[in-house]
Amino acid sequence: MKAAILMLLLLAAVMLMMSLQPRPAQAVECALGEATSLSIGDGVILHSCSWEQTPGVFLRAGPLEMVRHGVLILRLHTDRNGKLQGQFSSWDDAGVLTENGHYVDGLKHGEWLVTDANGERRVEHYRAGVLIAP
C-alpha cells in the first residue's frame, strides 16, 4: 500500500514538472501598467509590468519573467503593492525545475517542490513563510 502511494506521489510530481517546463521567451501581458523588457546582462532579459502607483512612484506589479538565451528561467507574480503573490517557478540553465510553489502576501505557503544543487528533489510544506514539514 505504501509503495502504491509513493508511486502515485512520484507520478504526480513528474506530471507537475512536465507541465512547468521552460518555454521560449515572450513578452508578459499586464493587467495593470505597461509591459517592459530589460537586458540585465549575461544573455538574461527581464520582462515585467511597471505602473505608476502614485505620481512619481513606480512599482512592478503582475507577472515577471526572466529568460536566458531564449529559455524561461524564472516566473513569478506580484500584487499591486509589489508583494510576491501566487505561482512561483524557477529553472536552472539546463531547464531543470529547481523550485515551484505559491506565495501568499509575500510568504511561501503550501506545498513547494524543490531541487537542490545535487539534483535531489523534495517536497516542502510552508505555512505563512514557515517551513512546517520537509
pLDDT band with cut points at 50, 70 and 90 for residue 51: confident
Given this model, what pLDDT does residue 27 score? 66
- Write the DSSP string, 45-105: EEEEEEEEEETTEEEEEEEEEEEETTEEEEEEEE-TTS-B-EEEEEE-TTS-EEEEEEEET
Residue 106: pLDDT band (50, 70, 90) is very high
Type of residue numbered 121: R
- Please give the model's pTM, rounded to 2 decimal places: 0.72
Report the percentage of the chain scoring pLDDT > 90. Answer: 51
Assign 26 a pLDDT band (cuts: 50, 70, 90): low
Name the residue range of residue 92's domain: 2-133
Q: How many CB atoms lie within 10 A of CB 54?
A: 7
Counting the structural domains of the chain, the total is 1
At 113, give phi and psi (nearest 5°). -100, 125
Give me the pLDDT at residue 59, please.
85
